[in-house]
């Protein structure tokens, strides 16, 4: 075959370049396939971007429904070095006067001189052995069969153990015992992880307690913890912690230092409308971003322009419906229980004729100060209707039906029909695009195979033509030579 192709076109003038041109003229269908595939990819990517924007919109709408958005508080302290405050969503806006007379502390026990540790580093062996037992305030040991045992926490000490090893073994049981140990100047310092007036005692085999410096502990080495004492608006409060969460509902009071006599710390709790405004602004920004992108994908451009450029999803009915319903929801009315606040515009969100939303922060803050419940009901509200029915026994009954009527609820429901991973419109479209692209790829492959077959046929056909023309020329030359011989 190679030798035949080598002289392709030698007689007929139809060579490989001519055949390439003929094949090229017939390959226009491939260009159509490729263009269609490019268009499908562009549409799929556009929907992917829309999904990302809608997902963000869904999240920001959800944030509007969180308690912290409407019930967040700001706090102040006249002296945060003495008293700090954290306010939860269920705290009441108010002021409090706090005096701290005692901070809670933990019991701490420091060993006496450990004779075997003298003239040694903390990593050298102490040549001690025995069982050392730490007994905490509850006198509780490790659980057995789900029940705490008494007798404390046993530490097995061997002759090879250094001071560092022994402290390490004590701390291995800290999670259970609540007693933590450290080394200070070759002595062991034991600290209870809990605060308040609590006991720590020790026992052991042989002379191990004495060897570790915990026998006949000097008074100054045994510091019993104390309970925190404070007054809140004149009411005395005591707790075994410096982080008090149960004295005032919704407040965490952090005691940092003792206050001077008759110089209380004043703390204040106020409604944090800035957090609410920020959440509303974030929603408005994301709504505008989504609508702008959707509009770009539906843009028909200038049909009269020669090089008109349109959006990737021009005429897509699903996207047109999404755009229309999002705009409609922004202007819907909701019965909030307060006729002054029955739509978004009444609380500061206006929408122009192009669908762009704008937030008036001052107007929103006024509404929040006046009736925060009504503002939230515009966004999130579930109504219940009762209709008569018949139960399984045929007896008359009442059927209760709940319906979400808030703007944010409806918009999240709409968005979910598009972005749901399994049943969403975008997921369905994406699967359809993938199938179409796959089918086009198969069609391109088959078409290219047919073109290659046609090329082979052209090559074979024109090679035969060249061969026939060569043979005809050869025969003509032979006949001419014969005529010349006869004439001579």
Separation CA 412–CA 425 (nearest Å): 14
Task: Pick the closest to residue 27 from 364, 319, 444, 372 (CA basis).
Answer: 444
371 within domain boundaries: no
* One domain for residues 190 and 143: yes
* One domain for residues 114 and 149: yes
Phi and psi based region of residue 254 (left: phi greater than 0; alpha: psi -120 to 50; beta: remaining)? beta
Query: pLDDT digit of tens for each residue in the chain (488 aa)?
Result: 444 445 565 556 677 777 777 666 666 677 777 788 888 999 999 999 999 999 999 999 999 999 889 888 999 999 999 999 999 988 998 999 999 999 999 999 999 989 998 889 999 999 999 999 999 988 776 665 666 666 789 999 999 999 999 999 999 999 989 999 999 999 999 999 999 999 999 999 999 999 999 998 989 999 999 999 999 999 999 999 999 999 999 999 999 999 999 899 999 999 899 999 999 999 999 999 999 999 999 999 888 888 888 999 999 999 999 999 999 999 999 999 999 999 999 999 999 999 999 999 999 999 999 999 999 999 999 988 878 878 788 788 877 888 999 999 999 999 999 999 989 999 999 999 999 888 888 877 887 777 777 777 777 777 777 777 777 767 777 677 767 766 65
Q: How many domains does the chain have?
A: 2
Rg from Cα positions in the chain: 43
* One domain for residues 115 and 149: yes
Which residues touch 294 (CB under 8 Å, ≥6 apart)?
Answer: 50, 319, 322, 323, 326
The β-bridge partners of 461 are none
The pLDDT value recorded for residue 150 is: 66
161 within domain boundaries: yes
83 within domain boundaries: yes
SS3 106: strand
SS3 7: coil
* One domain for residues 129 and 83: no
Separation CA 411–CA 168 (nearest Å): 58
* One domain for residues 149 and 207: yes
SS3 79: coil
266 within domain boundaries: yes
263 within domain boundaries: yes
The pLDDT value recorded for residue 3 is: 43
* One domain for residues 112 and 212: yes
* One domain for residues 130 and 203: yes
315 within domain boundaries: no
* One domain for residues 174 and 243: no
Separation CA 463–CA 449 (nearest Å): 21
3-state secondary structure 293-354: HHHHHHCCCCCCCCCCCCCCCCCCHHHHHHHHHHHHHHCCCCCCCCCCCCCHHHHCEEECCC
CA dihedral over 92, 97, 101, 105, signed as positive or negative = positive
* One domain for residues 153 and 163: yes
The pLDDT value recorded for residue 143 is: 63
* One domain for residues 88 and 138: no
421 within domain boundaries: no
* One domain for residues 187 and 92: no
* One domain for residues 168 and 83: no
Burial of 363 (0-12, 13-18, 19+ CB in 10 A): middle
* Residue pLDDT, tens place only, 207-219: 999 999 999 898 9
Residue that is last in its domain, among 215, 243, 271: 271
Task: Pick the closest to residue 100 from 207, 227, 230 (CA basis).
Answer: 230
* Residue pLDDT, tens place only, 331-383: 999 999 999 999 999 999 999 999 999 999 999 999 999 999 999 999 999 98
- CATH code for the domain of 144: 3.30.70
420 within domain boundaries: no
Domain containing 190 equals: 106-223
Residue that is last in its domain, among 223, 254, 287: 223
């Amino acid at each position: 075959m190679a030798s035949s192709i080598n002289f392709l076109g030698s007689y007929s003038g139809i060579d490989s370049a001519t055949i390439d041109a003929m094949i090229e003229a017939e390959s226009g269908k491939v260009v159509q396939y490729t263009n269609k595939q490019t268009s499908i990819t562009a549409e799929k990517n556009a929907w992917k971007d829309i999904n990302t924007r809608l997902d963000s919109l869904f999240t920001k709408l959800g944030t509007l429904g969180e308690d912290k958005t409407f019930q967040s508080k700001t706090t102040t302290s006249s002296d945060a070095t003495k008293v700090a405050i954290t306010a939860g969503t269920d705290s009441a806006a108010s002021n409090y006067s706090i005096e701290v007379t005692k901070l809670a502390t933990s019991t701490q026990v420091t060993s006496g001189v450990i004779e075997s540790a003298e003239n040694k580093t903390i990593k050298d062996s102490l040549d001690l052995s025995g069982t050392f037992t730490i007994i905490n305030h509850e006198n509780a040991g490790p659980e057995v069969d789900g029940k705490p045992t008494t007798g404390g926490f046993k530490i097995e000490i061997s002759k090879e153990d250094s001071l560092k090893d022994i402290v390490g073994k004590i701390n291995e049981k800290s999670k259970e015992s609540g007693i933590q140990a450290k080394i200070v100047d070759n002595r062991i310092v034991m600290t209870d992880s809990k605060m308040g007036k609590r006991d720590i005692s020790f026992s052991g085999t042989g002379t191990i307690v004495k060897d570790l410096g915990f026998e006949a502990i000097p008074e100054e080495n045994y510091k019993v913890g104390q309970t925190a004492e404070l007054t809140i608006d004149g009411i005395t409060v005591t707790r075994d912690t410096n982080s008090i969460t149960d004295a005032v509902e919704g407040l965490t009071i952090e005691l940092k230092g003792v206050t001077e006599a008759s110089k209380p710390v004043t703390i204040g709790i106020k409604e944090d409308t800035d957090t609410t405004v920020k959440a509303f602004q974030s929603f408005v920004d994301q709504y505008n971003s989504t609508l702008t992108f959707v509009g770009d994908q539906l843009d028909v451009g200038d049909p009269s322009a020669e090089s008109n450029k349109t959006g990737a999803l021009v005429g897509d009915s699903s996207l047109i419906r999404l755009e229309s319903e999002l705009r409609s929801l922004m202007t819907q009315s909701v019965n909030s229980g307060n006729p002054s606040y029955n739509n978004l515009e009444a609380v500061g969100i206006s929408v122009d004729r192009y669908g762009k939303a704008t937030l008036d922060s001052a107007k929103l803050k006024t509404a929040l100060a006046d009736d925060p419940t009504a503002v939230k009901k515009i966004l999130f509200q579930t109504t219940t209707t009762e209709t008569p029915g018949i139960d399984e026994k045929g007896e008359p009954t009442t059927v209760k039906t709940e319906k979400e009527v808030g703007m944010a609820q409806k918009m999240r429901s709409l968005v979910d029909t598009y972005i749901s991973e399994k049943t969403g419109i975008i997921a369905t479209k994406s699967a359809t695009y993938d199938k179409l692209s796959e089918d086009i790829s198969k069609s391109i492959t088959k078409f290219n195979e047919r073109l290659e077959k046609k090329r082979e046929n052209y090559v074979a056909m024109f090679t035969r033509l060249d061969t026939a023309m060569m043979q005809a020329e050869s025969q003509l030359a032979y006949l001419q030579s014969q005529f010349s011989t006869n004439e001579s």
